Structure 1
Amino acid sequence: MNIAIIPARGGSKRIPRKNIKNFHGKPLIAYSIEAAQKSNCFDRILVSTDDLEIAEVAKYYGAEVPFLRPSEISDDFSTTLDVMKHAIIWCQENEINVANICCVYATAPFLLAEYIQQGLKSLTDNSVKYAFSATSFPFPIQRAIKLDKNDQVNMFQPEHLNTRSQDLEEAYHDAGQFYWGTAEAFLEKAAFFAEHSIAIKLPRKRVQDIDTTEDWELAELLYSVLNK
């Protein structure tokens, strides 16, 4: 059985009530639920939340909320792997035979069903522990700079001061949309970013982190452009 788990706690700080905040006419979490539904990859779509209002919104859009997440894994220090392990153990205790699980973030309005499908195919075809979304950095990370308390500049890798951009290796980062994995990988809390994982490369235009008010505004603008 393949199951989607959407973590969505209620205590977001920088953007209050972020997971159910209106984003172009729908609660933000609705986009993740709908992408999971359209993928046809899942036998069940569960939302892990500690918040009754989020639970009601999730159920309205067709997800299941069979339990409320305990407080000890609902604070600022709880990790995605903590939440996933709890949800998988709940499934096992309720005789739900889980093979592959996809953690779908509740803040992914640019997620497409086809990316979820690609993730499942890569997970099963390559016999890896995880397959997750990634995208490329828009600027060579080898030429990144850091600022001291007086805003004076130093390079992280000064040896690349005069290296041509086209000669530098392209770098990628987590796109923060989904993580497919085997039940065993999540239960043992295996690291996502390791040789036992494979990346599903997404175009940068379909990736936007949403952690701050500025992120939110950029996401709304990008969504408007992509959905003219």
Structure 2
Amino acid sequence: MIVAFLPCRLGSQRVPDKNIRSFAGIEGGLLKIKLDQLSNSKRIDKIVVSSNDPRVIDFAYKYRDSRVTIDERPDYLGRSSTTTDELINYVPSIISEGHVLWTHVTSPFLSGNDYNRIIERYFEALSCGYDSLMTVLRIQGFIWNKKEPISYSCNELKWPMTQNISPLFEVNSGAFVSSINNYKKFNDRIGENPFLLEQEKSKSIDIDWPEDFELAEKLFNVYKSF
């Protein structure tokens, strides 16, 4: 069983009401887009919307897919101070079996087919010795901290060709897939040996700041026109 877990807490601070506000002219915004995408995946058996926002809960209750269930999350798990670790530890109390696909409304460019592919690659990865999966963006360029490069060494070449730089991988929060047993064992949404599934840059867009929201709206409208 594959259970999609979709957390949508009340009171986003950086992007107010980002879960439910109108996005690219779509009422229901990012929440509707994400529910449509998850519903278009036939590999997902159940969709759990976890929220303490009455508007999110009301929208989810009215959604047309019978696979959608609502977890009215306690307020202490929906504060701005709530950590992801706390929410991870909560998941086994509402999902008792199978595999969890944790995703976010803030990744609006993942389609139903993308979720199908993620799930397929997850099970392939399990057969190859991995114990979980997370989506990532490959970064292959001149990456520095405040003092020095961390993706290459100036002792070798001060400015190497980017194709010769060893890649790094940014977790893009598109999807984390792991068994509920791993949640219980590791208190994490991945295991000890996750498979890193690379995604193209557009599908790696994660809306975390107001400018991200505005840029994603513009891109979404462009994609809709094709």
Same fold (TM over 0.5): yes
1:200 Cα deviation from its structure 2 partner: 2.1
1:40 Cα deviation from its structure 2 partner: 1.1
Query: Structure 2 counterpart of 1:116, which letter?
Result: Y
Q: CA-to-partner distance for each residue in 1:97-146, whole Å, 9 max, x for gaps?
A: x2111112121210111221222222222223321221223x51xx2345
Query: Structure 2 counterpart of 1:8, which letter?
Result: C
Matched residue SS, 1:91: coil
1:58 Cα deviation from its structure 2 partner: 2.0
State the partner residue of 1:39: 41
Query: Contact conserved, 1:7 with 1:80, CA < 8 A, in 2?
Result: no
Cα separation, 2, equivalents of 1:130 and 1:31:
26
State the partner residue of 1:95: none
Q: CA-to-partner distance for each residue in 1:5-58, whole Å, 9 max, x for gaps?
A: 100001100111111011121321112111111111222111111111111112
What are the equivalent positions in structure 2 for 1:77-92 lying under 5 Å apart? 77-92=81-96
Q: 2:132 aligns with which of 120, 130, 138?
A: 130
Cα separation, 2, equivalents of 1:129 and 1:31:
29
1:116 and 1:81, CA in 2 relative to 1: closer, same or farther beyond 3 A? farther
Cα separation, 2, equivalents of 1:64 and 1:30:
14
Q: Structure 2 unaligned runs (5+)?
A: none
- TM-score in terms of structure 1 length: 0.83
1:135 and 1:76, CA in 2 relative to 1: closer, same or farther beyond 3 A? same
State the partner residue of 2:218: 221
The RMSD of aligned alpha carbons is 2.2
Query: Contact conserved, 1:9 with 1:49, CA < 8 A, in 2?
Result: yes
State the partner residue of 2:69: 64
Structure 1 segments of 4 or more deviating over 4 A? none
State the partner residue of 2:115: 116
1:213 Cα deviation from its structure 2 partner: 1.1
State the partner residue of 1:184: 181
1:81 Cα deviation from its structure 2 partner: 4.4
- TM-score in terms of structure 2 length: 0.83
Q: Percent identity?
A: 20
Q: Structure 1 unaligned runs (5+)?
A: 93-97, 148-153
Q: Which moved more, 1:126-135 or 1:4-13?
A: 126-135
State the partner residue of 2:31: 29
Matched residue SS, 1:23: coil
